[in-house]
Amino acid sequence: MIVESYLYEKENDTVICKTCMHRCKLKPGKWGICRVRKNEDGVLKVYNYGLVSSVALDPIEKKPLHNFKPGSAVLSFGGVSCNFRCKHCQNYTISFADLSYPYVREYTPEEILELTKKNRADGIAWTYNEPSIWHEFALDSSKLVKKEGYYVVYVTNGYMSFEAIDQFEGILDAANVDVKAFNEDFYKRICKAKLENVLKSVEYMHKKGIFLELTYLVIPGENDSMEEIREFAEWVYGLSKKIPVHFSRFHPDHQMLDKPPTPVSTLERAIEVAKDVGLEYVYIGNVWGHRYEDTYCPNCGHLLIDRDGFYIVRMDLDGNRCPECGYKQNIIL
């Protein structure tokens, strides 16, 4: 199904897409960086509406979201293509695919709602590839799902425009944003994007009251210096010390097979740096069974949520307070 974009403006025969931070200026017949939007005679047409490549019922912890609805089941949807070109992409089979990708099925927003009900999910996630390029379909479907009492989350690279975020006001409950590094050179070389735009988008989502968790994939020799990680942690602290941060282990993939997996010791040092800066909830990702998969009270250190990988073994909370010291937690139950 081809629809007209919800966010663009015209300059004579040129259209300016306002869906993501690239703000592509397209002459007639030209496609955007995302490869799913095209200027057709002065109208910005969207070609990926309803094209679903992936559906799975996941634990919310897999997104990863550890402080938002812990233990809940989220029905996750992926599409095709992306507005980044990350060399280390671990979902490259769909993120680097174009509209010719054969393994898609076309859904309507009503069918997304029915699937959510059928799977007895607690909410939905737009994930696997970049959801912001799926804006129209994600928004229409999310409105229906939200109206029925389900939550809505994004797993995103953080390139949503302010206008796109505004259209999700009151609908998008939470987002995990992948801040891929804290230097512009990395974003230019590895992602074909700009760190500055990611930071602006994250700051705007925080301002709009969207519950945020951030992921930082630590890649040896690329973004793993403790100085860079400290700068990242200080930026997060400037937003809120209560924003959960996940330092995830890198595994070689796609066009970055020459890099080794991240040493667990590097992730543990990153945790120490972030906690030293003052961040209250810091996690290690992609290391099954590590103690920093768990959630501890930032005030007294009491174990609040004991996890085994993506699954909760035990939760010990008094509402959203620590049962030992009474400290109010930044946890949405």
Task: Kindly state whether residues 313 and 194 are assigned to the same domain.
Answer: no
* 248 token code pair: 């995830």
Task: Kindly state whether residues 97 and 172 are assigned to the same domain.
Answer: yes
Task: Kindly state whether residues 81 and 176 are assigned to the same domain.
Answer: yes
Report the alpha-carbon distance of residue 107 to residue 114 in Å, rounded.
11
**Amino acid letter at 16?**
I
Task: Kindly state whether residues 140 and 58 are assigned to the same domain.
Answer: yes
Q: What is the DSSP letter of 327?
A: P
Residues spanned by the domain of 75? 51-293
Segments of the chain with pLDDT less than 70: none
Task: Kindly state whether residues 19 and 107 are assigned to the same domain.
Answer: no
Task: Kindly state whether residues 27 and 41 are assigned to the same domain.
Answer: yes
CB 190 within 8 A of CB 180: yes
For residue 283, the cross-strand partners are 246
Task: Kindly state whether residues 274 and 326 are assigned to the same domain.
Answer: no
Task: Kindly state whether residues 206 and 110 are assigned to the same domain.
Answer: yes
Report the alpha-carbon distance of residue 214 to residue 243 in Å, rounded.
7
Report the SS3 class of residue 290: coil
Alpha-carbon distance values, 193 to 154, 190, 266 (Å): 19, 8, 26
Report the alpha-carbon distance of residue 307 to residue 299 in Å, rounded.
20
Q: What is the pTM of this model?
A: 0.96
Task: Kindly state whether residues 136 and 280 are assigned to the same domain.
Answer: yes
Task: Kindly state whether residues 101 and 29 are assigned to the same domain.
Answer: no
* Residue 214 belongs to domain with CATH number: 3.20.20.70
Q: What is the 3-state secondary structure (H, E, C) of 145-161?
A: HHHCCCEEEEEECCCEC
Task: Kindly state whether residues 195 and 329 are assigned to the same domain.
Answer: no
Task: Kindly state whether residues 104 and 224 are assigned to the same domain.
Answer: yes
How would you label 9-30 residue by residue, b for 16+ Cβ within 10 Å and e otherwise? eeeeeebebbbbbbbbebeeee
Neighbours of 258 (CB within 10 A): 7
- What integer pLDDT is reported at residue 58 of this predicted model? 97
For residue 50, the cross-strand partners are none
- What integer pLDDT is reported at residue 253 of this predicted model? 86
Q: How many domains does the chain have?
A: 3
Q: Containing H/E element for 239?
A: helix 226-239
CB 212 within 8 A of CB 206: yes
